[in-house]
Structure 1
Amino acid sequence: MHDFDTDGHRARKRFGQNFLSDPNIIRKIIDGIRPQPGELMVEIGPGLGAMTDPLIERLGHLHVVEIDRDLIARLHERYTPAQLTVHEGDALKFDFGSLCAGEEGGVGPRLRIVGNLPYNISTPILFHLAGFADQVKDMTFMLQKEVVMRMVAEPGTEEYGRLSVMLQYRFRMGRLFDVPPGAFRPAPKVMSSIVRMAPLPAEQLGARDEALLGRIVAAAFGQRRKTLRNTLREFIDDAGLQALGIDPGLRGEKLSVEQYVAIANACAGREG
């Protein structure tokens, strides 16, 4: 059988479902999130409610985004509308900014996003969520450890890549702790990790054209074995790189986030 029955619900492979079941790990995650009464928070993929219960207990009210209709029916049975607002659908297409509409008072971004993200869509959902960074206070996620290591990787390491650069450009990243496979039902074949992402202030970002930065970073890591001289040829020449103090013979993984921003700004200057 390709699905796994847990608490009367079959974990569906197509939704990447693995349900957190270890009470000590759940407590540790909630303590790491530190939800405060009245905060605006959304949980992605609440599943069987392992984190939903303690979140509602501390917050009073929680938003959730869930795609599985069976789980949605269970959530409606278990919680009142005063406790829980369910947004049915795909988190990859959900407008997280809509949760902030009509919010009264408070200074700065208020939305907090949490969740045990499905491993099969982890990278696209992180890029989707990055688009709402200016409305977000922080995000705390459980992901496959391998993905988290890429998110927090430093230049010059094997894990450092497009995901590292684009997320570190926009967020202050921190890996909190690891979660073993045995904490889930069914147990995944991989170790998980908890990561926190706090958006950086707009004045710290620095890229004149973020879309151009994204294209340059994608090109630099598109063929990892090739040097910048080859991968960035359509954007900047050797002389342009050298003017920025960057060796054209380097590979993409050697450059810092700041150096990518410098290249993008030099290119944006020429285009402008």
Structure 2
Amino acid sequence: MPSARAPASSGIIRSGRAAGPVRRCRHRCLRRPSGSGRTVAVARNRHRSPASRRTARDRARRTLSQNFLADPGAVARVVRAARPGPGDLLVEVGAGKGVLTEALAPLCRELISYEIDRHLIAGLRERLAPYPAVRVVHRDFLTAHPPREPFALVGNVPYARTSDIVEWALRAPRLTSATLMTQLEYARKRTGDFGRWSLLTVRTWPEVEWRLCGRVARTAFRPVPAVDGGIMRLIRRPRPLLPDAEQRASYAGLVELGFSGVGGSLHASLRRVCPARRLTAAFRRAGLEREVVVGHVTPPQWLVLAQDLTGVAGVAEAATGAGRGGTAASKESKVRAKSRVDSSSL
């Protein structure tokens, strides 16, 4: 009796229910070729492209970079990091389904929650109806004007819009703090946790302190993203380390020149505008080697350089103290201790 199955290499089987060869696709589904007169696809949805299988809701989530917090423990950690007080005005970016909003609502005087996704607004307002202090605003947060009174920003931010949201926060004149759930790599980069300091962090350091408050596993989100999250906190200093706006502008100009990369090293970049002897003395007082990589220079060391090279006076004691005594490694460790989360919490 002849076998009903063709050789495995042909990829063809014979079906007893219908005439003509039936082929297996890469999903092991049975498909009849068009020549049989009837094209039948078993598990037809598998043979559509991933993009065509997505619903409108799925496409909205991808466009808006939505990954909602679903772990109560992670929500509690964000709330603890934000430290809301009963008299505080809070602004939430990306309220999502209201999990974080509901945790913050009883702890503050007023909470303004922004959500851009129209599909979530009705559910948000229903969930938060018992909290009269909460106001849900259907709007793109980045188009909103910051409050004219002191406020704190909190939110599980869309990873794709993190940089824009951070810039918004830094521009808000009455912001006191921002506690944001971001991509872990972004949070570590901005807080110096990799042992390197970014231009944005160094430039804003006289006015803003950057801290890494913890790591959140990606499994705490729905849908599950590809990477872990990091809780990052920006704290606006009540008194800037450089109290005068002109001093801060001189400092920022020096930092941007140093990060320009012109000349191939920090020393070479600054040598273009600073006398060699003065530059060498400033490096020595800051505890820096001539060949130091610009990203390895800590914010307090930049303050020492600014004081010596731009004539900036009145630098806070913490900044000048970083340039007195000790090795460069010990100075860096002191600074990083403030912005680096304890390894046990990671």
TM-score normalised by L of structure 2: 0.62
Deviation at 1:114, TM superposition (A): 0.7
- Alignment match of 1:36 (pick from 65, 78, 85): 85
Please identify the structure whose Cα radius of gyration is greater.
2
Aligned to 1:128: 168
Partner letter of residue 183 of structure 2?
Q
Partner letter of residue 169 of structure 2?
L
Alpha-carbon distance change, 67 to 153 in structure 1, aligned in 2, over 3 angstroms: same
Does structure 2 retain, via aligned residues, the 8 Å contact 1:4–1:186?
no
- Alignment match of 2:300 (pick from 242, 255, 258): 258
Does structure 2 retain, via aligned residues, the 8 Å contact 1:64–1:86?
yes
Q: Does 1:138 align with 2:177?
A: yes
Deviation by residue 1:147-166 (Cα, 9 ceiling, x = unmatched): 11112216xx5532213313
Deviation at 1:235, TM superposition (A): 4.4
Aligned residues: 256
- Alignment match of 1:55 (pick from 104, 116, 127): 104
Task: Determine the C-alpha separation between the residues in 2 that align with 1:190 and 1:218.
Answer: 31
Alpha-carbon distance change, 9 to 79 in structure 1, aligned in 2, over 3 angstroms: farther
Does structure 2 retain, via aligned residues, the 8 Å contact 1:148–1:175?
yes
Alpha-carbon distance change, 215 to 71 in structure 1, aligned in 2, over 3 angstroms: farther
Alpha-carbon distance change, 120 to 169 in structure 1, aligned in 2, over 3 angstroms: farther
Deviation by residue 1:161-214 (Cα, 9 ceiling, x = unmatched): 213313443233332221101000111111111122222232423564434433
Deviation at 1:75, TM superposition (A): 2.9
Task: Determine the C-alpha separation between the residues in 1 that align with 2:159 and 2:262.
Answer: 24
- 3-state DSSP class of the match of 2:214? strand
Task: Determine the C-alpha separation between the residues in 2 that align with 1:22 and 1:4.
Answer: 25
Aligned pairs (5 A) from 1:1-272:
12-59=61-108, 61-80=110-129, 82-96=132-146, 98-100=147-149, 110-132=150-172, 135-153=174-192, 158-205=195-242, 208-223=246-261, 226-232=264-270, 235-245=273-283, 249-264=291-306, 269=311
Task: Determine the C-alpha separation between the residues in 2 that align with 1:26 and 1:39.
Answer: 19
Task: Determine the C-alpha separation between the residues in 1 that align with 2:263 and 2:77.
Answer: 40
Partner letter of residue 96 of structure 2?
G
Partner letter of residue 17 of structure 1?
Q
TM-score normalised by L of structure 1: 0.77
Does structure 2 retain, via aligned residues, the 8 Å contact 1:151–1:168?
no
Task: Determine the C-alpha separation between the residues in 1 that align with 2:145 and 2:161.
Answer: 17
Alpha-carbon distance change, 24 to 68 in structure 1, aligned in 2, over 3 angstroms: same
Deviation by residue 1:49-97 (Cα, 9 ceiling, x = unmatched): 110111113336311223223333443444459332234443334332x
- 3-state DSSP class of the match of 1:51? helix
Alpha-carbon distance change, 72 to 219 in structure 1, aligned in 2, over 3 angstroms: farther
Farther-moved stretch of structure 1 (44-53 vs 195-204): 195-204
Does structure 2 retain, via aligned residues, the 8 Å contact 1:44–1:114?
yes
Task: Determine the C-alpha separation between the residues in 2 that align with 1:117 and 1:17.
Answer: 8
Root-mean-square deviation (CA, aligned residues, Å) is: 3.4
Deviation at 1:16, TM superposition (A): 1.7
- 3-state DSSP class of the match of 2:196? coil
Alpha-carbon distance change, 85 to 121 in structure 1, aligned in 2, over 3 angstroms: same
Partner letter of residue 276 of structure 2?
D
Task: Determine the C-alpha separation between the residues in 1 that align with 2:272 and 2:144.
Answer: 34
- 3-state DSSP class of the match of 2:98? coil
Higher-RCO chain (CA-CA 8 Å, sequence separation at least 6): 1
Deviation at 1:232, TM superposition (A): 3.5
Task: Determine the C-alpha separation between the residues in 2 that align with 1:99 and 1:16.
Answer: 29
Partner letter of residue 184 of structure 1?
F
Task: Determine the C-alpha separation between the residues in 1 that align with 2:253 and 2:139.
Answer: 29
Does structure 1 retain, via aligned residues, the 8 Å contact 2:263–2:269?
no
Does structure 1 retain, via aligned residues, the 8 Å contact 2:218–2:227?
yes
